[in-house]
Amino acid sequence: MSNILHTVNKSPFLNQTLKHCLGRIQSGDSVLLLEDGVYAALSSQPWAMLMNPSHQYYAIKADVEARGLGEDKLLSHITLIDYEQFVELSTEHSTVQSWY
Amino acid sequence: MSNLLNFQQNIPPYKAGTKSMSLTIDGKIIATDKEGYIKSLEEWSEKVAEMIAIEEKIKLTSSHWEVVLLLRQFYQEFELSPTMRSLVKYIANNLGKDKGNSIYLLKLFPPNPAKIASKIAGLPRPKNCL
Amino acid sequence: MNKPKTKKLLFLFRHAPYGSALAKEGIDAVLAASAYDQDLSVLFMDDGVFQLLKHQKPDDIEEKNIINILSAFTLYDIQSLFVCQESLAERGLRNTDIAIGINIVAHNTVSQLLSQQDHILSF
């Protein structure tokens, strides 16, 4: 079984990429939020309920901190990682699909 | 042929503007842009400030220093090099209106206080200086 | 006396900071325009409201902190700052999440503000 690492780097409010991605993920896939994509990690964003906790969700910590998003504002099932861990994740998945 | 070579060697190396592109202080070379703004904020020191002031034909007194140090504070606070208007206001807020006015600053840092004082304070060239 | 008429200019920020250069370029444009003594207003809406958040710390992505630059606006006599209430609400953000002094305005005020301008510059 192949598993995919999906990356989303656009804000879900101005761009459909988060929705497009979430509509197509399969079990075993993971989602990584980076750059403006990290706004999707807000628990208050309207698509949060689409982010099924049975998948693994990650966000780049430096991008979260840059934008002033405190941990208290984030969905609880998001794991914050750095770029080295991003590389590791890429190797653990069979492919990487970038939604942009 | 050898005459031609000698001729070429006598041409001074090309420099934009008339001023040098670096300062040398205690044997250390500090890079500047073609207008004399130092390239790295961290390389600034009081000696660097004095050296730039000499180039601008300004002798730094305590009145100059308080403005220069406030400029560095301005940059730390706002990550901007000030324009004339914001500089005047910032100095007025910190040192009072006697010093926070353009005539006072113009006397200290002629002919363009925002630019010259920024240069001495080691800040990047003010982008919004119109 | 034919004094040149001051123009009403609105700078409209609709994009998040850091993901693109728009926020920074817009702020540079505001600061530059402030030198011309025109009637300036600044409005943050849609993802632009994210520029106003407290606790931004862009050191690790090597960007300048937008909040530090926005804090300089008062020194440039830029006082008319507005943020769209609906855009904040849509993102689950509260007044207490905002780092600078700003007027929070409802949708109808936003429309009024837009209709009063000689020029709108959008970032």
DSSP letter string, B44-75: --HHHHHHHHHHTT----HHHHHHHHHHHHHH
Q: How far apart are CA B113 and CA C36, in angstroms?
A: 19
Q: Tens-of-pLDDT digits for all 123 residues of chain C?
A: 567 789 999 999 999 999 999 999 999 999 999 988 899 999 999 999 999 999 999 999 999 999 999 999 999 999 999 999 999 999 999 999 999 999 999 999 999 999 999 999 999
Please report the pLDDT score of residue B6 as a whole number.
Answer: 45
Please report the pLDDT score of residue B126 as a whole number.
Answer: 76
Please report the pLDDT score of residue A86 as a whole number.
Answer: 97
Q: How far apart are the first and last CA of chain C?
A: 36
Query: Are C28 and B78 in contact (CB < 8 Å)?
Result: no
Contacts of A12 (CB under 8 A, 6+ apart): A18, A19, A37, A39, A40, A45, A47
Question: Where along chain B do its domains lie?
Answer: 2-120
Please report the pLDDT score of residue C51 as a whole number.
Answer: 98
Of B127 and A59, the one with more pLDDT:
A59
Please report the pLDDT score of residue C2 as a whole number.
Answer: 67
What number is the average pLDDT over the span A42-58?
A: 92
Q: Coil, helix or strand for C82? A: strand
Nearest to A67 among C14, C18, C20 (CB): C18
Nearest to B128 among C32, C71, C77 (CB): C32
Domain C8-122 classification at class level: alpha beta
Q: How far is C35 from chain A (nearest CA, A)?
A: 29
Q: What architecture is domain B2-120?
A: Orthogonal Bundle (1.10)
Confidence of residue B10 (pLDDT cuts 50, 70, 90): very low
What number is the average pLDDT over the span B75-93?
A: 92
Interface of A with C in 47-76 (CB under 8 A): 61-63, 65-70, 73
Contact by Cβ (8 Å): A69, A38: yes
Q: Is the pLDDT of residue A54 over 90?
A: no
Please report the pLDDT score of residue C1 as a whole number.
Answer: 59
Question: Where along chain A do its domains lie?
Answer: 4-99
Query: Are C47 and A63 in contact (CB < 8 Å)?
Result: no
Please report the pLDDT score of residue A92 as a whole number.
Answer: 95
The ipTM, to two decimals, is 0.85
Q: Is the pLDDT of residue B3 over 70?
A: no
Chain B residues touching chain C at CB-CB below 8 Å: 77-80, 82-83, 85-86, 89-90, 93, 127-128, 130
What number is the average pLDDT over the span B82-96?
A: 93
Give contacts of B130 with chain C, Cβ < 8 Å.
Answer: 32, 35
Residue of C nearest to B89 (CA): C75
Give contacts of B94 with chain C, Cβ < 8 Å.
Answer: none
Please report the pLDDT score of residue C96 as a whole number.
Answer: 96
Q: Which residues of B are catalytic?
A: 129
Domain A4-99 classification at class level: alpha beta
Q: Is the pLDDT of residue B18 over 60?
A: no
Query: Are A42 and C91 in contact (CB < 8 Å)?
Result: yes
Please report the pLDDT score of residue B23 as a whole number.
Answer: 85
Query: Are C68 and B77 in contact (CB < 8 Å)?
Result: yes
What integer best gives the mean pLDDT of chain A?
94
Please report the pLDDT score of residue A9 as a whole number.
Answer: 97
Question: Where along chain C do its domains lie?
Answer: 8-122
